[in-house]
Amino acid sequence: MKKPKQKPNRKTVRMNEVEEIETLNSWIDSQKPDSGTNPLSFPPLDKKAPVGRIGESEFSAYAGSTRFDQLPISRRTKNGLKEAGFVKMTDIQRAALPHSLCGRDILGAAKTGSGKTLAFVIPILEKLYRERWGPEDGVGSIIISPTRELADQLFDVLKAVGKYHNFSAGLLIGGRKDVDTEKERVNELNILVCTPGRLLQHMDETPNFECSQLQVLVLDEADRILDVGFKKTLNAIVSQLPRHRQTFLFSATQTKSVQDLARLSLKDPEYLSVHEESVTATPNHLQQTAMIVPLDQKLDMLWSFIKAHLNSKILVFLSSCKQVKFVFEAFKKLRPGMPLKCLHGRMKQQRRMGIYSQFCEERSVLFSTDVASRGLDFNKAVDWVVQVDCPEDAASYIHRVGRTARYNSGGRSVLFLMPSEMKMLENLREAKIPIQFTKANTKRLQPVSGLLSALLVKYPDMQQLAQRAFITYIRSIHIQKDKEVFDVMKLSIDEFSASLGLPMTPKIRFLNQKMKEKKLLERPPVLELENDDEDASAIPKEELLIDDSIEDKVEKDILLTKDNEYEGKASLIEDIIPATRILKKKKLKINVHRPVGTRVVFDEEGNTLPPLAMVADPKSGNFPLDPDQKSEYYRKLREDMKRADKEDKLLDRQRRREKRVKQKMKWKKGDMEEEDEDGLSGSEEGMEHGRRKRSKIYFDSGSDNDNDNEDGETKENKTSKDSKGDSITLEEQEALALKLLNSLHS
């Protein structure tokens, strides 16, 4: 008979752990520079990938270690790793762990999807374990992430790997309503995974919350957190942390700025860039393509792409929340044949999380802002990353495409570039991004703008969405720093607006201003030649080029985000609630997309109907692109409109006439009754009542006649015409009214 497994004695476990901790600590001590031994090191990973100082010497005990179970770490962590399926270390883990376990600060850079998370989660657990951290010790480690979704993902990894430890950990992210519960418990937590805004909120508001014992601080996506968008928040956080601590900064695009490092008071950090010598900055299994897509064909191309990849998981990046909302809502109504989802920073937190986990599980298309561009793992299985709007720089590109081809899996990406953005291709290649350039196959393009026009007519709410998408896109291009790539003056504005299905181009004030400036600059410098007068050249030319007001405003507004969460610069501008709202009112003037001579058409609710939608091919719903066909359609449209107009007028006239006749009949009848009543009551009250009634009838009749004038008919004509069909003539009416008045006065 098999002997039942004996439960380990608690005391023995404790004793074993004490011994383990002592062994680990003495090992760590032996790694200190003044200990006389070589610093801990694994052999170089390969000749092409030196790992900072680490490859310079050999560390005998762990030389050749490639697996986690060979590391000098606790049994608890080893068990957690094993159970989560982590056996072999990745390059960045092999490079970073020896240093971090010894207590050094680290600046770690490695390609997307290469396992940076474990490179900081393991040393956190080990540090607290060796320090025998307990609930009474408070916050021992803080991991800061730029987005809520990423924080959530990091928290999951921490829970899995730290499963056998006894530390308490908490996820503190914006958008959650239970701040009060958090406040009650935050002081008992040992490890915090948080977004910067929420952490600072606790630092500011939660009584007794303090981090004076902090051992390890981690900034994941460090370059992003050190960026201008989080600057103030991060400075405020760091000012409340002890200077004596271990700090890890990780990212696929690492900062090397001395200023940044000084802000965090790093102590002689190890700079570990495991893929620095690599030929490419992106994962090896990632196939990347770029193609020219004019602005007004982007949605056609995206629609065609989705229709051609119905069995794939696709992540689509757009530049702003408004773009995401519009494309998602529009495509959802057009039903491409696979589930669609959207993710952006303006969604409620619960929904955001729900969408994120649904997208991890099922094949679908996710339209997103840059909120999904960093760190997210999506279960490794995104097939395609499609960048409909150009990223702001190479770093942003690297993070977006990094959502696919993670760890050892493959993936593909495609970038739509407008002809004016071709400089970006150069930038990407300079940043060691192996991107193929292909021509779009326009034969397979399925135009969607006609369908969108029809959609905007059917759903008036969609018009607003489209207008906002249009405006925020233009503005996002305007605020981009790299003016060599992004030039708002090169955008085909009217065509873009029409491609969203809009009947008119919304006017944008700053753009008009810019155009005026451009025209001024293009004018020959007559004034300077002809006039010596100071006044004539009162505006220096340089001044005309400066648009400080807008740039400054956007810069400031970026800092005014709600809870400082990352949305990408372009989408951050949407969080400037008061400013944009005021501006929007002024900006929404309109430019009608119509050939000269056609008229704007309104539907019954007063919404404008796009001529494009009116003439869309009834079968395909597409707008015919052939110019001959187009003018034929317009001619037909004008005729139809004229006919409809005439019919409407006739109908309206008839309706009014009937109404008048009815009223007169009523008036006549009512008058008789009133005369009787008046005669019977004879009281003041009755008289007043009668007078009021009559006045009302009198003025109603008059106003009817006024309205008739709108049809272009004179009062006289109208009255004489009406009198023919009515039971009483005008003369009779006047006589009746006179009689009534006389009877009232007498």
Ligand X SMILES: Nc1ncnc2c1ncn2[C@@H]1O[C@H](COP(=O)(O)OP(=O)(O)OP(=O)(O)O)[C@@H](O)[C@H]1O
Query: What does the block give as tokens for 47?
Result: 């000749």
Residue 528 CA to its chain's centroid (Å): 47
Residue number with CB closer to ligand X (194 or 615): 194
Going by C-alpha positions, the residue among 459, 114, 82 that lies closest to residue 254 is 114
| 699 to 728: interface string for ligand X, x by CB under 6 A | ------------------------------
Residue number with CB closer to ligand X (366 or 469): 366
CB of 586 to ligand X, least distance (A): 41
527 touches 609 (CB < 8 A): no
Residue number with CB closer to ligand X (336 or 402): 402
CB of 376 to ligand X, least distance (A): 7
CB of 87 to ligand X, least distance (A): 7
Residue number with CB closer to ligand X (93 or 413): 93
- 269 strand-pairing partners: none
Residue number with CB closer to ligand X (565 or 574): 565
CB of 407 to ligand X, least distance (A): 4
Residues 49 to 78 in contact with ligand X, rule: CB under 6 A: none
Given candidates 50, 269, 402, 690, which one binds ligand X under the rule CB under 6 A? 402
- Tell me which stretch binds ligand X (CB under 6 A): 49-57, 89-97, 202-210, 444-452: 89-97
CB of 283 to ligand X, least distance (A): 9
Number of residues that bind ligand X (CB under 6 A): 20
Pairing of strands 141-144, 191-194: parallel
| 196 to 235: interface string for ligand X, x by CB under 6 A | ----------------------------------------
CB of 441 to ligand X, least distance (A): 31
Residue number with CB closer to ligand X (160 or 637): 160
Given candidates 72, 80, 375, 690, which one binds ligand X under the rule CB under 6 A? 375
Residues 91 to 130 in contact with ligand X, rule: CB under 6 A: 93, 110, 112-118
- Tell me which stretch binds ligand X (CB under 6 A): 1-9, 85-93, 139-147, 433-441: 85-93
CB of 109 to ligand X, least distance (A): 9
Residue number with CB closer to ligand X (353 or 451): 353
- Tell me which stretch binds ligand X (CB under 6 A): 329-337, 374-382, 411-419, 421-429: 374-382
CB of 130 to ligand X, least distance (A): 22
Cα torsion through 31, 33, 34, 38, rounded to 10: 60
The DSSP H or E segment spanning 193 is strand 191-194
CB of 290 to ligand X, least distance (A): 21
* Rounded Cα distance, 422 and 471, in Å: 23
Going by C-alpha positions, the residue among 493, 389, 502 that lies closest to residue 449 is 502
CB of 107 to ligand X, least distance (A): 14
Residue number with CB closer to ligand X (275 or 694): 275
220 touches 255 (CB < 8 A): no
CB of 126 to ligand X, least distance (A): 16
CB of 157 to ligand X, least distance (A): 7
682: region left, alpha or beta (phi > 0 left; psi from -120 to 50 alpha): left
Residue number with CB closer to ligand X (51 or 110): 110
Residue number with CB closer to ligand X (64 or 606): 64
CB of 176 to ligand X, least distance (A): 23
* Rounded Cα distance, 500 and 492, in Å: 13
| Cα separations in angstroms, 569 against 79, 146, 260, 479 | 42, 13, 20, 8
216 touches 141 (CB < 8 A): yes
Residue number with CB closer to ligand X (86 or 129): 86
Residue number with CB closer to ligand X (147 or 497): 147
Residues 436 to 495 in contact with ligand X, rule: CB under 6 A: none
Q: Strand (E) positions, 255-333?
A: 270-273, 286-292, 314-317
Q: Strand (E) positions, 573-702?
A: 590-592, 601-602, 608-609
Given candidates 32, 48, 88, 584, which one binds ligand X under the rule CB under 6 A? 88
- Look at the alpha carbons of 495, 499, 505, 507 in this order and tell me if their dihedral is positive or negative: negative
Three-state SS letters, 469-506: HHHHHHHHHHHCCCCCCCCHHHCCHHHHHHHCCCCEEE
382 touches 398 (CB < 8 A): no
- The answer to whether 89 contacts ligand X (rule: CB under 6 A) is yes
Residue number with CB closer to ligand X (43 or 624): 43
CB of 431 to ligand X, least distance (A): 15
722-745 b/e with 16+ CB inside 10 Å = b? beeebeeeeeebeeebeebeeeee
Residues 623 to 642 in contact with ligand X, rule: CB under 6 A: none
CB of 220 to ligand X, least distance (A): 7
How does DSSP assign 428-467, residue by residue? Answer: HHHTT--EEEE---GGG----HHHHHHHHHH-HHHHHHHH
310 touches 379 (CB < 8 A): no
Residue number with CB closer to ligand X (118 or 612): 118
Residue number with CB closer to ligand X (148 or 406): 406
Q: Which amino acid is at 573?
A: I
- Tell me which stretch binds ligand X (CB under 6 A): 83-91, 517-525, 692-700, 714-722: 83-91
Residues 151 to 170 in contact with ligand X, rule: CB under 6 A: none
Determine the 3-state secondary structure of 1 from DSSP: coil
Query: What does the block give as tokens for 469?
Result: 């998408």
Residue number with CB closer to ligand X (401 or 448): 401
CB of 89 to ligand X, least distance (A): 5
* Rounded Cα distance, 171 and 174, in Å: 10
* Rounded Cα distance, 159 and 163, in Å: 6
CB of 252 to ligand X, least distance (A): 4
Residue number with CB closer to ligand X (115 or 610): 115
Residue number with CB closer to ligand X (226 or 302): 226
Going by C-alpha positions, the residue among 640, 546, 543, 632 that lies closest to residue 595 is 632
Cα torsion through 187, 192, 198, 202, rounded to 10: 20
CB of 464 to ligand X, least distance (A): 35
- The answer to whether 86 contacts ligand X (rule: CB under 6 A) is yes
- The answer to whether 516 contacts ligand X (rule: CB under 6 A) is no
The DSSP H or E segment spanning 131 is none
85 touches 73 (CB < 8 A): no
- Tell me which stretch binds ligand X (CB under 6 A): 400-408, 462-470, 507-515, 615-623: 400-408
Given candidates 41, 74, 90, 564, which one binds ligand X under the rule CB under 6 A? 90
- Tell me which stretch binds ligand X (CB under 6 A): 45-53, 402-410, 626-634, 646-654: 402-410
- 248 strand-pairing partners: 106, 218
Residues 232 to 271 in contact with ligand X, rule: CB under 6 A: 252
- Look at the alpha carbons of 501, 314, 375, 415 in this order and tell me if their dihedral is positive or negative: negative
Going by C-alpha positions, the residue among 281, 305, 286 that lies closest to residue 396 is 281
Residues binding ligand X (CB under 6 A): 86, 88-90, 93, 110, 112-118, 252, 375, 377, 380, 402, 406-407
